[in-house]
Amino acid sequence: MEFFKNIYQKAESYFLGRADESALRVAAVSKGGGISTSSQINYEAENMMSKSLKDWQTAIMLATDREEPNFADLSSLYNNLLLDNHLSSVIDTRILFCQRSPFKIVDEKGNENEELSYLFERTWFDDFVRLVLMSRFQGRTLIEAFDLNEEGELKEVNEIKQGYFNVKKGIITKEIGDTKGWPYREGNLQPYYLQVGKDYDLGMLAQMAPAILAKKLGMGAWQDYVDKFGVPPLFITTDRIDNNRLKELYNAAINYKRNNFMIGQGNEKFEVGNTGGVSSSDTFDLLVERVNSEVSKRVLGGAGLTDEKSFVGSTEAQMKLANDRFESDKLLVKNIINGEFRQKLIKLSPIYAPMQNHYFEWDNQEAMSKADMADLINKMSQNYIIDPEWAEQQTGVPIIGVREQMMTSTNQEQSNQNPADVKKK
């Protein structure tokens, strides 16, 4: 037994010493042997308390400190800002356009490799696109690509939250404010982490924060206004001075909203006042509209796509401005993949090894709707013979045969042709 054990150990040493490092890692991770850094971080609970301009100023100051940069407060501020539905909506508009754009993996000659393209048709790629584009809004973003599935494909990508990595030291920390951690720019972990954005890039949210905080303050004041003046006050007049009757009237007034009626005695009067004529729309709603308009202009280039009252001409002009931003987003994702992430995928798993000679491209060919394609086929069939199988693939309409009348007409056209013309063809 000892003899066979020694032979096995020598053989194991031989093959492991010559095995590709990434292949060994695939085997280790698929068996649960690899532990990602993100799973070892002690994330703190999110603090959703209201923020002020003072919080914004402090967060900016801490994040831009050249000696000990700390993005924890800024990250908390950004999470609070993203509770604004309008802001989140316009950001999603930017990201979703890129996520739903067709793409392909091509070789050096521009020919698509469908098998490699299929490897990117995964949930992790949508998450990757979102994280890359979020760097435009939240500043530098650290992406982790570590976990593989049993087939050796990338399983998911994770974000290392901004407060848990130090850009000056290039480390990922277990706790916020730690001075030591895991280096992500060098060493064994370097292939599995990608930083998008410059070290001290704060993103658009840093610029939009004052306006959004003003909107939140206005919304809060609007709620206070409704609490105080939304329901007209109730005035009760009575000539009774005994405490028992006063208590009865007091309880009746408290329950007035629920009962919607009151019963008096003698000369008692019950009168509903007014709100003083103050317009809540002029006081608060215009502030909300103005901030929403400013946010739309910053993110999409204008408010035409989000304004309910926009006209056709202004919407078309707005779409041109938004397209510039959409194409810029696509260019950023393309450059990140081809410039850095492609090589990381190659090192991550042998399944991505063919990417060495291939590149990511957006497929900008305009796709026709099935109705438009059917109309095109109908027009072309008047002068040309269309392949039924191709027409079925393009329109989705099953074609089980060709009508006899059409075949007779086609044969007749061919017989009427000049023999010399037929010979030329």
- Per-domain boundaries in the chain: 20-230+278-367, 231-274, 371-424
| Owner of token pair 């009865």 | 248
Task: Give the least confident one: 23-27, 201-205, 213-217, 273-277.
Answer: 23-27
Query: Cα(234)–Cα(260) distance, rounded to whole angstroms?
Result: 12
Confidence of residue 29 (pLDDT cuts 50, 70, 90): very low
Residue 408: what pLDDT?
55
Q: Average per-residue pLDDT in the chain? A: 80
Residue 56: what pLDDT?
93
Please determine, for residue 25, whether its predicted confidence score (pLDDT) is greater than 60.
no
The larger pLDDT score, comparing residue 33 to residue 119, is at 119
Query: Cα(27)–Cα(41) distance, rounded to whole angstroms?
Result: 24
Residue 18: what pLDDT?
47
| Closest by Cα among 178, 308, 282, 147 to 225 | 282
Calculate mean pLDDT across residues 253-265: 74
Query: Cα(203)–Cα(212) distance, rounded to whole angstroms?
Result: 15
Tokens of 410: 């086609």
Please determine, for residue 162, whether its predicted confidence score (pLDDT) is greater than 80.
yes
pTM over cut 0.85: no
Tokens of 299: 């993110």
Calculate mean pLDDT across residues 74-98: 93
Residue 32: what pLDDT?
39
Task: Give the least confident one: 43-57, 74-88, 96-110, 123-137.
Answer: 43-57
Residue 270: what pLDDT?
73
CB 83 within 8 A of CB 219: no
Predicted confidence (pLDDT) per residue in 332-374, tens digit: 999 999 999 999 999 999 999 999 999 999 987 665 666 777 7
Cα 405 off chain centre by:
54
The larger pLDDT score, comparing residue 410 to residue 129, is at 129
Confidence of residue 327 (pLDDT cuts 50, 70, 90): very high
Tokens of 295: 């946010």
Please determine, for residue 202, whether its predicted confidence score (pLDDT) is greater than 90.
yes
Please determine, for residue 407, whether its predicted confidence score (pLDDT) is greater than 60.
no
Please determine, for residue 16, whether its predicted confidence score (pLDDT) is greater than 60.
no
Residue 276: what pLDDT?
55
Please determine, for residue 24, whether its predicted confidence score (pLDDT) is greater than 60.
no
Query: Cα(192)–Cα(190) distance, rounded to whole angstroms?
Result: 6
- DSSP result, 156-223: -EEEE-GGGEETTTTEE-SSTT-S--EESSSSTTGGGEEEES-TT---THHHHHHHHHHHHHHHHHHH
| Closest by Cα among 184, 182, 131 to 157 | 131
Please determine, for residue 1, whether its predicted confidence score (pLDDT) is greater than 60.
no
CB 165 within 8 A of CB 178: no
User: Three-state SS for 266?
Assistant: coil
What percent of the chain clears pLDDT 70, i.e. is strictly above it?
Answer: 77
Predicted confidence (pLDDT) per residue in 367-401, tens digit: 566 677 777 777 777 777 878 777 777 777 887 77
DSSP state of 38: G
Query: Cα(115)–Cα(100) distance, rounded to whole angstroms?
Result: 19
CB 113 within 8 A of CB 105: yes
| Run of H or E residues at 257 | helix 256-259
Task: Give the least confident one: 5-19, 228-242, 342-356, 375-389.
Answer: 5-19
Residue 23: what pLDDT?
46
- DSSP result, 334-393: HHHIIIIIHHHHHHH-GGGGGGGGEEEEE--PPPPPHHHHHHHHHHHTTTSPPPHHHHHH
Residue 31: what pLDDT?
36
Query: Cα(46)–Cα(39) distance, rounded to whole angstroms?
Result: 17
User: Three-state SS for 141?
Assistant: strand
Please determine, for residue 127, whether its predicted confidence score (pLDDT) is greater than 90.
yes
Q: Could you tell me the CA-to-CA distances from 341 to 104, 126, 237, 344 in Å, in that order?
A: 16, 14, 77, 5
User: Three-state SS for 226?
Assistant: helix
Query: Cα(328)–Cα(337) distance, rounded to whole angstroms?
Result: 14
Tokens of 406: 């059409």
Predicted confidence (pLDDT) per residue in 87-102, tens digit: 999 999 999 999 999 9
Please determine, for residue 57, whether its predicted confidence score (pLDDT) is greater than 60.
yes
Helical ranges in 65-113 per DSSP H = 72-81, 85-99
CB 98 within 8 A of CB 326: yes
Query: Cα(162)–Cα(138) distance, rounded to whole angstroms?
Result: 9
Residue 88: what pLDDT?
94
